[in-house]
Amino acid sequence: MAKITPRSQDFSRWYNEIVQMADLADYSPVRGCMVIKPYGYTLWENIKEGLDRRFKATGHVNAYFPLFIPMSFLQKEAEHIEGFSPELAVVTIGGGKQLEEPLVVRPTSETIIGHMYAKWIQSYRDLPVLINQWANVVRWEMRTRLFLRTTEFLWQEGHTAHATAEEALEETLRILDLYADFAENDAAIPVIKGRKSESEKFAGAVTSYTIEAMMGDRKALQAGTSHFLGQNFARAFDIKFLDENNQLQYVWTTSWGVSTRMVGAVVMVHGDDQGLILPPKLAPIQAVVVPIWRNDEQRARVLQAADQVRTVLGDRVRLKVDDRDEVSPGWKFNDWEMRGVPLRIEIGPKDVEQKQVVLARRDRPGKEGKTAVPMEGLAEAVVELLSTIQVDLLQRARDFMEAHTTYPEDFEGLREGVANGFAHAWWCGSAECEAKVKEETTATIRCIPLEQEPGKGRCVVCGEEATERAVFARAY
């Protein structure tokens, strides 16, 4: 098996190698586009399932809007077209003929959905509209990375319309909480919930909120965003309703999205030099049985025990029995470690005799993570251990983030802080100070955390009074 570049040596290379060697994705012949391989796509399906369940539990429904958007639609919201125009893919020929109006391949769907909402929404009784869409979108990116930044990517985009600003803002933050809940409880990724600065917000939003996570190289990744769009798109697309007093009003809208980028986050937060480490809730395979034998007689007994494990566990966990003859147990160990299967179940002839199996945790390599467990009560033991692994992965990531977080009080401290991780620093709120940090350190404001101790201090850049700390970090 090919050796992976160690994380510590070259994180970026480690990432690219692991994504391909673990069969998550492959490069495609189309510039900047990727192929999501079955193992990676199953991971994405589990992410989708975790999010979709939460959307539906909070009253959202799915729908589908066209891939193509007339160019004129994007131009209706000034900031929106300014932000997206450098990234557009444009269809100019359809059915062999030059199109009268070029069609943009959606980079995001606020405009086409806004157009439809104007048609569907007449009265306060039609509100709120709580719609989500699972779709592909295209943004012509200059430098691409598998999952992290690709020309085409898969995502969900929620688009809601409300009667009041308060309700829309409440929805924006409800979704932010939902994203954080998914990231922490399903993906085992701790996140900081915060507001984006003006320069980092979504093109067309009044306020953008984000969940930011720390990757294994201590850089930040924006893992999901939720935007309060105010009445910007309502005015651009004339989305009005008659309120209870029979007054015509513009609606208030929100939009929010999580993409296949989340797969990249899972890789970069949990993986190690042996390969992926997948949180049990998202893992395509939660446990793999590796039978160990030296001769045919042993083989028969061991495979019989493996079958028994399948019978006991098959309905409770996503299980794979690796009974391949052509590769050795050691090779299989490496292979499944590379693919990040959370739990390995080893069965050798001695184990069969003693009516037990050996459980080996992917997140604790070596002896420490191994325990012999009796066949009796195995299902309960495995389910419990998977849930322990899930919790431990989150805790480990949380400890890592905390160990690489500083609260500098001056510019030198900030410079050191962003070189090593996240720096929570007082910021006066000016775009100049923000730009200066970027220029001198390449770090940007990831967000202004929603939860922070009240108080004030001096802006680490200009020394002016500041009432909020911002999280500065180098970012993907």
Q: Which chain residues interact with a copy of itself by CB under 8 A? A: 26, 28-31, 33-38, 40-42, 44-45, 61-70, 73, 85-96, 102-103, 105, 112, 115-116, 119-120, 131, 135-136, 138, 140, 142, 151-152, 154
Nearer to a copy of itself by C-beta: 140 or 400?
140
Q: Yes or no: say if 232 and 206 are a contact pair by the CB < 8 Å rule.
A: yes
Q: Which residues of 48-63 are buried (b: 16+ CB within 10 A; e: fewer)?
A: bebbeebbeeeebeee
Q: Burial code of 301-340, b = ≥16 C-beta within 10 A, e = fewer?
A: bbbebbebbeebbeeebbbbbbeeeeeeeeebbebbbbbb
| Nearest distance in Å: CB 448, a copy of itself | 31
What's the closest the beta carbon of residue 163 comes to a copy of itself, in angstroms?
Answer: 17
Count the Cβ atoms, other than its own, within 10 Å of residue 395: 12
- How near is the Cβ of 98 to a copy of itself at its closest, in Å? 10
Rank residues 92 and 467 by Cβ distance to a copy of itself and give the closer one.
Answer: 92
Q: How far is the CB of 174 from a copy of itself (least distance, A)?
A: 19
> Closer to a copy of itself at the Cβ: 325 or 439?
325
> Which is nearer to a copy of itself, 151 or 197 (by Cβ)?
151
- Based on CB atoms, which residue is closest to a copy of itself, 90 or 419? 90
Is residue 234 within 8 Å of 121, Cβ to Cβ? no
Length of the chain as a residue count: 476
Contact (CB, 8 A) for 223 and 251: no
**Cβ at position 92, least distance to a copy of itself in Å:** 5
The residue written with tokens 């651009």 in the block is: 236
CB of 112 to a copy of itself, least distance (A): 7
- Closest Cα to residue 249, out of 259, 257, 238? 238
Pick from 156, 146, 151: which is nearest to 179 by CA? Answer: 156
Distance (Å, whole) CA 243 – CA 192: 37
Which value, in Å, is the radius of gyration of the alpha carbons in the chain? 25
| Choice between 24 and 397, CB closer to a copy of itself | 24
Closest by CA to 342, choosing from 391, 380, 297, 405, is 391
CB of 97 to a copy of itself, least distance (A): 9
Strands (E) located in 396-467: 405-406, 422-427, 444-449, 457-458, 465-466
* Smallest distance from a copy of itself to CB 395, Å: 32
Q: Which is nearer to a copy of itself, 135 or 393 (CB)?
A: 135
| H/E run at residue 371 | strand 370-374
Of 23 and 200, the one with the shorter C-beta distance to a copy of itself is 23
Provide the minimum distance between the beta carbon of 207 and a copy of itself in the complex, in angstroms, as a whole number: 27
Nearer to a copy of itself, 261 or 361 (CB): 261
> How many alpha carbons lie under 13 Å from residue 128 in its C-beta half-sphere?
24
